[in-house]
Structure 1
Amino acid sequence: MLPIITIARQYGSGGHEVGERLAEKLNVPLLDKQLIAMAAKKSGLSEEVFEKADEKAGNSLLYSMVMGNYTFGSRITGINDMPINDKLFILQSDIIKSAADKGPCVIIGRCGDYILREYDNVFRVFIHANKEARIKRILSKGLCDEKKVSDFITKRDKQRANYYNFYSNKRWDDLSNYHLTIDSSEFDIDEVAEIIITAIGKIKPPAKK
C-alpha cells in the first residue's frame, strides 16, 4: 500500500513541483495551497485572510497547549477568538488528518510530518538545494527582484523554520525527522520524484503492534 507522503522543503528547492509530479505519478491527491481554500470554506473566512497567515507562526497556541486548553485535532471552544495563524493551523491539521484517514496523498509543508506523527503509513521527505539553483528557479518564475532574491530566500526559509519549530516544538532542519533528504539541485523534478518513489519501495513496513 502506498504511504502518505509529506514534503518539507527549502524555499526555491522545487518542493511543490516535486509534490505535483509525485501526485500525478502515483495518482493520489495533492494537498498544498488547496489547504487554504479548504480551511476558508470550513471556517467561513476568506481565503485572502488565510493566505497572509499561511505557514507563519502564531503567538498563542503553545501557551494554550501548556495550559491544557488544546487537544490536538479536536474541536476547540472559542476557536474564533484565536489569532488567525493558530486558527489556520488547527483547521489545516484537521483537514490533513481527514485526508490521511482516507488513504495515500501528498502533503506539502504545513508540519504535515508532525501532524501525522502518530500515523504508521507516512513517508517523510525533506527537499533542499544549493543557493544558486534556488535563486535561478525563483528568478525564472519572476517571484522576486534579482537584487533582493538572496535575502528573500533567507527570509522565507526562516519563516518556514519558525512555523515548524513553533507548532511542532521540533526543528525543521533536524534531518532525523525525515526518511529521505534530497538535494534537488543535482536532479530534475522527474528524477527527484522517481528517487522518492524508489525509496518508498525499499522502506520496511511498520512493525505490527
Structure 2
Amino acid sequence: MNKVITISRQYGSGGREVGQKLAEHYGIPFYDNELITRAAKESGFAEETFARAEDKATNSLLYSLAMGINVYGNQDFGFSGLSLDDRIFLAQSDVIRKVADDGPCVIVGRCADYVLKERTNTFNVFVQASLDFRLKRVVENYGESEKKAGEIILKNDKRRANYYNYHVGEKWTNLTNYDMVVRSDIAGIDKAVESICTYLGE
C-alpha cells in the first residue's frame, strides 16, 4: 500500500479509531497528536500553543479577527508578518509534509487533506455518523452525561469546521473534497475500515 491516508471526521464518529485500525492493518505509522509534539519540537512553539490555536476556532468572525492579531507583539519566530495562528499552521503543515515524504501513513485531522492536496498518492476519507450514534459513543467512551455529550459534539464540530474554513477557505463538510465518505453508524467501525481497504484494493 503506497498511500498517505488522511482522516477527517465528525466528533464522536469513531474516525480516529478507524484511522488507527487502518494503520494497524497496513503496518504503517499513525499520526494524530504526534504531529503536534513533533511540530512543537521542530518549531520551538510550546505544544499548548498548537492546542490553543485549534480551540480558538469557535466563532468564525471572532476567530478571524482574533487570529489577525500577533499576540506575541514584535517577537519573530521566523514567519515575520504572519499572525501566530498562521505560524502555527505553517509549522504543523511542514511536519505533515515531512511524514508524508517518509512514506505511507495515516494522518488524522489538521487539514492534512488540504496540505497534501497536490500529491497523487493521497487518499482522503471523511467519517460521519448520526447524532444518536455519536452521543452514545461519547457517553460510553468518555463517561459524559448525554446532555453534556451533545454540547461537546456541537462545540467540537463547530471548532473543526471553523478551523478548516479559516485555513482552507472551504467548508469542512463539503464531501466533494474527499475521495471517500464513510458512515460509521451504518457500517460499524470494523466494516468502515474494511470498506476503505476494499476501495483501495488492498
TM-score grouping bracket, smaller chain normalisation? 0.7 to 0.9
TM-score for both structures, normalised by structure 1: 0.82
Aligned counterparts of 2:175 and 2:190: Cα–Cα separation in 1: 23
Of Structure 1 and Structure 2, the greater helix share is in 2
Aligned counterparts of 1:165 and 1:19: Cα–Cα separation in 2: 23
Q: 29-38 or 85-94, which moves further after superposition? A: 85-94
Name the structure 1 match of 2:8: 8
Q: Which runs of 5+ in 1 are unaligned?
A: 64-74, 203-209
For these two proteins, the number of residue pairs brought into alignment is 190
- 1:93 correspondence with 2:93: yes
Name the structure 1 match of 2:51: 51
Which amino acid counterpart does residue 122 of structure 1 have in structure 2?
A: T
Which amino acid counterpart does residue 152 of structure 1 have in structure 2?
A: I
Asked whether the equivalents of residues 144 and 152 of structure 1 are also in contact (C-alpha less than 8 Å), the reply is no
The percent identity for this pair of structures is 44
Name the structure 2 match of 1:207: none
Q: Which runs of 5+ in 2 are unaligned?
A: 58-62, 69-76
Asked whether the equivalents of residues 54 and 159 of structure 2 are also in contact (C-alpha less than 8 Å), the reply is no
Pair 1:12–1:127, CA change in 2 (3 A): same
Structure 1 residues 157-200: Cα deviation after superposition (integer angstroms, max 9, x where no partner): 11101111110111111111011101101133221111111111
Which amino acid counterpart does residue 186 of structure 1 have in structure 2?
A: I
Give, in angstroms, the shift of residue 55 of structure 1.
6.6
Aligned counterparts of 2:174 and 2:89: Cα–Cα separation in 1: 21
Asked whether the equivalents of residues 61 and 86 of structure 1 are also in contact (C-alpha less than 8 Å), the reply is no
TM-align CA RMSD: 2.5
Name the structure 2 match of 1:28: 28
Within 5 Å, give how 1:49-198 maps onto structure 2.
Answer: 49-54=49-54, 57=57, 59=64, 76-78=78-80, 82-83=83-84, 85-142=85-142, 144-198=144-198
Asked whether the equivalents of residues 3 and 104 of structure 2 are also in contact (C-alpha less than 8 Å), the reply is yes
The runs of 4+ residues in structure 1 deviating greater than 3 Å are 54-63
Pair 1:99–1:56, CA change in 2 (3 A): farther
Q: 49-58 or 176-185, which moves further after superposition? A: 49-58
Aligned counterparts of 2:137 and 2:112: Cα–Cα separation in 1: 24
